[in-house]
């Protein structure tokens, strides 16, 4: 990584894979909403759009401090962010999805929170849908046995412990969480230099969860900051009744799920957690119908194939 530049507070890293139209809207929101803080934007193209630089510069001509990193191959979201980090000069790194829109001065809010809380290593905003409804922003615990038990039991346990703030902070005060969704994760650069960047073992999914697990293992805390607000446009359902099953996403989700367990759980916890996950998949196959049931059947088969 490059040496820190005292004049750059935050390096905003955005990984592109055929999403230049989304990135342009995202960048326009950054220019519009960000005040009182110095920042740079690093756009990493994962071998998808060779003309990405001209598209961005023409689409957002008033964007200050922008760099472009063109990867020769697509090695996934995490590796793309690692490429962006190599030229980052900011004291903090904001890993921002291209399908996001800042609602307010979220970059400064998250940065100030990290500066004012030395023991906090990472922070994230409250995420909203395009319509303004609460969106998945974090999970209160990291994946493991209890995480799987909660999934199996429709989050009955965590609803009693954490409700209503399971995946969205309905209050006014920051709360400590297990992990922040990768859509808007800000991390102190000194922490990344200590623990390393995203693991190349993940192509898609769980890479931010794995990074947050390593942050916690190093002693850092992770907080959601509700005063920072961002729209995340990604749909939360993998396959609706009228949409085709996305086998590519399911394949990567199941592979990354198992990879996370192998990297972060001891053999006993891993075996028990995966046994509960298997029960989760079977219960959903029994309980669902139609396209959703087909999806769970495919997920179960993929899980068995990968877990041999």
Please enumerate in sequence order all residues whose Cβ is within 8 A of that of 118, keeping only pairs 6 or more positions apart, or say none.
none
The tens digit of pLDDT for each residue in 244-302 reads 899 999 999 999 999 999 999 999 999 999 999 999 999 999 999 999 999 999 999 99
The tens digit of pLDDT for each residue in 12-52 reads 999 999 998 899 999 999 999 999 999 999 999 999 988 89
The whole-angstrom separation of Cα 287 and Cα 16 is 38
User: Count of CB atoms within 10 A of residue 4's CB?
Assistant: 16
Share of the chain above pLDDT 70, in %: 95
The whole-angstrom separation of Cα 162 and Cα 38 is 36
Beta bridge partners of 66: 41
pTM for the full predicted model: 0.94
Checking if the pLDDT of 1 tops 60, the result is no
The whole-angstrom separation of Cα 208 and Cα 4 is 23
**Which is it for strands 39-46 and 10-16: parallel, antiparallel or unpaired?**
parallel
Domains assigned to the chain? 10-232 (3.90.550.10), 247-306 (no CATH)
The whole-angstrom separation of Cα 279 and Cα 125 is 33
* CB of 16 closer than 8 Å to CB of 24: no
Rounded to a whole number of angstroms, the distance between the first and last alpha carbons of the chain is 38
Residue with tokens 């194939």: 305
At 241, the pLDDT band (50, 70, 90 cuts) reads low
* CB of 119 closer than 8 Å to CB of 205: no
Checking if the pLDDT of 237 tops 60, the result is no
Angle, nearest 10°, between helix axes 52-59 and 20-33?
A: 40
The tens digit of pLDDT for each residue in 214-231 reads 999 999 999 999 999 999
DSSP 254-269: HHHHHHHHHHHS-HHH
Residue 3 pLDDT: 53
Residue with tokens 């992770």: 222
Give the angle subtended at the CA of 141 by the CAs of 138 and 143, to the nearest 5°. 100
| Among candidate residues 200, 298, 213, 198, the one with its CA nearest the CA of residue 261 | 213
Local structure of 242: helix, strand or coil? coil
Checking if the pLDDT of 236 tops 50, the result is no
- As a residue count, the chain comes to 308
The tens digit of pLDDT for each residue in 140-157 reads 999 999 999 999 999 999
154: alpha, beta or left? (left if phi > 0; alpha if psi -120 to 50): left
Please enumerate in sequence order all residues whose Cβ is within 8 A of that of 207, keeping only pairs 6 or more positions apart, or say none.
76, 77, 78, 182, 198, 199, 256
């Amino acid at each position: 990584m490059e040496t820190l530049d005292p004049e750059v507070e935050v390096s905003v890293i955005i990984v592109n894979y055929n999403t230049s139209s989304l990135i342009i809207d995202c960048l326009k929101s950054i220019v519009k909403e960000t005040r009182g803080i110095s920042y740079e934007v690093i756009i990493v193209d994962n071998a998808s759009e060779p003309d990405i630089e001209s598209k961005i510069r023409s689409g957002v001509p008033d964007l200050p401090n922008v760099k472009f990193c063109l990867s020769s191959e697509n090695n996934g979201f995490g590796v793309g962010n690692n490429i962006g980090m190599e030229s980052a000069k900011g004291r903090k790194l904001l890993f921002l999805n291209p399908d996001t829109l800042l609602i307010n001065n979220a970059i400064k809010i998250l940065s100030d929170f990290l500066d004012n809380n030395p023991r906090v290593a990472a922070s994230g905003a409250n995420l909203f849908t395009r319509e303004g409804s609460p969106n998945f922003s974090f999970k209160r615990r990291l994946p493991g046995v209890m995480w799987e038990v909660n999934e199996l039991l429709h989050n009955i346990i965590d609803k009693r412990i954490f409700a209503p703030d399971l995946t969205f902070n309905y209050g006014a005060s920051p709360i400590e969480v297990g992990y922040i969704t990768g859509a808007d994760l800000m991390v102190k650069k000194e922490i990344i230099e200590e623990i390393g960047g995203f693991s190349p073992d993940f192509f898609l999914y769980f890479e931010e969860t794995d990074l947050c697990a390593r942050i916690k293992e190093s002693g850092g805390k992770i907080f959601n900051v509700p005063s920072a607000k961002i729209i995340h446009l990604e749909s939360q359902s993998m396959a609706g009744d009228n949409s085709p099953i996305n086998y590519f996403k399911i394949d990567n989700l199941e592979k990354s799920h198992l990879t996370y367990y192998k990297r972060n759980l001891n053999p006993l916890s891993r075996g028990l957690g995966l046994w509960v996950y298997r029960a989760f998949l079977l219960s959903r196959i029994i309980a669902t119908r139609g396209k959703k049931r087909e999806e769970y059947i495919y997920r179960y088969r993929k899980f068995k194939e990968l877990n041999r």
